[in-house]
Amino acid sequence: MGVPALFRWLSKKYPKIIEEVVEELPTEINGVEIPIDTSNPNPNNVEYDNLYLDMNGIIHPCCHPDSKPAPETEDDMMIEIFKYTERIIAIVRPRKVLYLAIDGVAPRAKMNQQRSRRFRTAQEDRIRNEERSKEIERLKASGAPIDEELIQKKGFDSNCITPGTPFMANLAKCLRYWIAEKLNHDAGWKNVSSNIYFIIIIDSLYKVFSILVVSSGFFCSFFSNL
């Protein structure tokens, strides 16, 4: 469960924790994009052993972004998630541990909070769909041309980014496939091949706890070492 305004508080109190980074971009030769070789030294002149990612901060903005059109299909969403994750990995270039954490089933107290929030989201989606239907009927009544995109448009239900849904099951399957592909074909993943953890754990507090456990060399029963 997130702590409201925690990042803003941290960044104001400790402004030096935020640093600008040098990002190496892929090159294009004869129309073919050449991916970044992450086995090369980090362009920021510093090497990192470990990278821990809370995938919630990647999944949501990739599936329903604020600054660009949302992906049209679920497959497009998976591709966006892979691209964003790969971009972060290319910037940091962990040499020993890569840790990807996805929320699993939440504790009861958070379930109650999530339920109320998701009912509200569903209600807002229903209101938007009703407004869209009214707009279509208004255009039909006036004889004005109706954009086909307006008729077919259906917003993404962010409630499906919830443990136990088919969307999350498919995401877990796709991530495992993507990790296997990177291990086999990306030289930058060579040194972390035995230290990649794809974790499904019950809450962000447990994510912090599990990181401490991994750092101590111990493993709990809810860990899944890929």
pLDDT for 51-99, tens place per residue?
Answer: 888 888 899 889 888 888 888 888 999 999 999 999 999 999 998 888 8
Q: Give the highest mean pLDDT range of 80-94, 184-198, 201-215.
A: 80-94
132-153 confidence digits (pLDDT tens) = 677 767 767 777 666 665 555 5
Q: What is the C-alpha to C-alpha distance for residues 26 and 29, in angstroms, rounded to an integer?
A: 10
Query: Of the candidates 77, 73, 102, which has an alpha carbon nearest to the alpha carbon of residue 176?
Result: 102
| pLDDT tens, residue by residue, 105-124 | 766 666 666 666 666 766 76
CB-count burial class (<10 Å; 0-12, 13-18, 19+) for 171: buried
pLDDT per position as a tens digit, 21-43: 889 888 888 888 888 888 889 99
Rounded to an integer, the average pLDDT of 48-52 is: 88
Of residues 33, 87, 80, 39, the one with CA closest to residue 61: 80
What percent of the chain has a predicted confidence (pLDDT) above 70? 66
**Model-wide pTM > 0.85:** no
